[in-house]
Structure 1
Amino acid sequence: MNAIQLHANDLILFAHIVAAGSFTKAADQTGLPKATLSRRLSDLELALGERLLQRSTRRLALTEFGQHMLEHAQRLLDETEAATALAQHRQLVPQGTLRASFPPEYRELSLVAVVTEFARQYPDVRLELDLSARRVDLVAERFDLAVRAATQLPDDSTLVARHVVTQENGLFASRAYLRRHGTPATPDELSAHVGLALVTSGGEHQRWRLSRGKARWEGLPAQAHSANSVGLQLALAAAGLGIVGLSERFARELVEQGALERVLPDWCLPPTTVWCVTPGRRLLPKRTSAFIEILTSMLSDGPARPGRR
């Protein structure tokens, strides 16, 4: 006995034909030519070994076997329409779980405002947020997106990187610190100061690479405290512990408040680009694209103020 091989689409078309009452109406509803519908139905009957419909010039009539098969075909059609409706609803109303990874400094500096705004707009989405210095494996760990701040990203064809914002960087210190230690007039004078160095994920102290036009200077003060948290560095600088290299955006609010001021304002550190990285080149779920849109809007819109908007 030969195994029967059925195609679900043919059963669904059978249900459409019966519901329409004629090949002409079914062709209008499905967008398929009448000849194609007739051929697909004949192929289905051939595979089943029995007729499903009695055809005449005036009407279609179900056979007894066709009546039994229609129950199964209708269930397939109902499930297909339900799945389509679910997909359409999820595109119109984002829902489900969004897994996102951020550098740890975003906890203090930007993430609260972004998450609060996203949750307000899309209450049906559940957020799972990972904040750590490690570089997560988006595919293996099933992350929807990761935010990464870097001067450049590694070449990885399995990921798609979307530009969020480019942050200008410079040196900052509190007025109290500069009153005690003096304000450096040139990069060479930094050697007599206290620095606050960022520790990279590789455990190295990130050296300051300053530029002004074609002029370059690279180094760190001989006395430098270190931390792997930009938020902590910002707080320590505001407390008067030393000079820190920061994004202008992260420092802006404290500068406006008078807690920090720019050191060597004509000299800049290399800019940092913030990227939103997603797995592969597949179609993004609506919840992911909505989060990226809010993230991009808020990171590009003024200083990092928790609870802003």
Structure 2
Amino acid sequence: MKYLRSVRGRMLGIAFLPGGALVLVAVVIAVFLVHQAVRTRDLAMETAAAADRTARAVVAMQGQRSAAMASPERRSDAYTSFTLRIESAIAGLREYARHAPDAESAYQQTTAVELLSVAEGMDRSDSLALAGLDNVTRGSFTSAVAAYRAELARVVPQLTESGRMAYESLTRSADWSRLAAAENAFTAAEPLPVPESTWRSAAYAVSEQLCLLYAQQSQYAVQLTLDDGRRTLAGALAAGTALLLFAGLLLVVVRRLVARVPVPVVPIMVPTVGAAIPRPRHVRSRRPGLPEPWPLKAVLDDLRRP
């Protein structure tokens, strides 16, 4: 019985090797996928924080630029300095978008950055117009207006359905029409077609709507990345659990199969000590003796007979 248990134990140990390897593979895959999911979530949160910081910094610098440009002697330097700083901040946010975990997230985040650039272009032109245009700054104003309008029209097809609806609502609004009329008048060096207060109100409303459009797109891009991380985590847990269950089932089946395998038992001869077997009588060696006297007696008896 000890020999039988030893053989079956060896067979069971050999059969458990594939199951153990499968368990190890399942653990490695699950750990890797969980790590990827956590990394994706952290990247999404980092991108969201960077987008919020950049948007706040851009708004703050836009206000500082408008305030600095109120002074005629500092107007040109303030415009150039703050514009370069804002563009650098937006470029840094664009780098975050390029390191998104997947192509769709990178695409949506890049679209959000482009919308922030559109909002900055509109505010840039508004700062120039508010500070007063001359023969030098009118060209910069015209270029800024044309650039943000063209960029907005280019980005619209990339927006989500709700984003396109928000854009159409903006371009059909009275504020958009009033701002466009004022910008066209400034470009042509003509008087404002609307009162200045109406122009300022329209400019503020359009700028606010563009910022909301950017925020909506940015939140969508971040949510897309978070959802991808959750799907990766759920897939990791499901795959790891399935592999572990399969490995456990395999081990149970192997154990039962090994228990049913007939193993031949080789008897082990154990020497024993017992009484010596007596030899047969006919094989005993006899001691030599004297010849019997009957032949001589027979001769004498024959001589005595008459």
Do Structure 1 and Structure 2 share a fold, with TM-score over 0.5? no
TM-score with structure 1 setting the length: 0.30
Q: Structure 1 or 2: larger strand share?
A: 1
Q: Structure 1 or 2: larger helix share?
A: 2
Decide which structure has the larger Cα Rg and report it: 2
